[in-house]
Structure 1
Amino acid sequence: MEHKKTIDAKIERALEGLDGIQRAAAQPWLYSRVMGRLQREEKTVWESIGSFLSKPAVAMAGLTTILVLNLFVLFKQNSLQDATAVAGANQGVQITDSESIIASNSSFDYENLVQP
């Protein structure tokens, strides 16, 4: 029962905040600006471009084109990597295990390392 009283008190407090409310009034110049804009016949270049691009058919065609181009680039890149791998394998260059160990050991001289 105490919970219901606190809820009722909060509702009353919220409704008391609405006592001084008045109807919103527009600025005197707003009506003339809206009417002038509605009666204007020519469109600017940006309005024409915006209205054309906002059509659903144009937007979907553009998104589809971008998607197709992305897929084309992705698959082209994969085929180039595959072709490079095949060309590298055909050259006959092979690194043996001993060569890779020598390369990794000689890249840093641990014996002559100067400690601060």
Structure 2
Amino acid sequence: MKDKTEISEKITEVLNSLEGIQRATASPFLFEKMQGRRNEDNGIWNILAYKLSRPAVAISLSLVILLVNTWLLLSNPDAGNVPNTDQISDLAIDYHFDASTAPEQNMILP
């Protein structure tokens, strides 16, 4: 256990460190800043922007969007690989495209 003299020396050292203490002063424009914040328009868009701009909310929303996109892409993997032949044949009929007449239309004459 420490001696009483060591303890009293520590106490006097701590008390002596408080000798030069002064009262804290506020910044000159503190009152104006507080009044500006108080009178600020807190509409729904400002509140929404404030909430969504927080890093935790922004990151979590981004992850949710990425997970939903991934789920939608992986839920039906064969839909993008098979061309719809009905639509292709309908377009061929609409534009009068016939495979047998295609070379004749672009024939180069000497």
| TM-score, reference length from structure 1 | 0.39
| TM-score, reference length from structure 2 | 0.41
Q: Which has the higher helix share?
A: 1
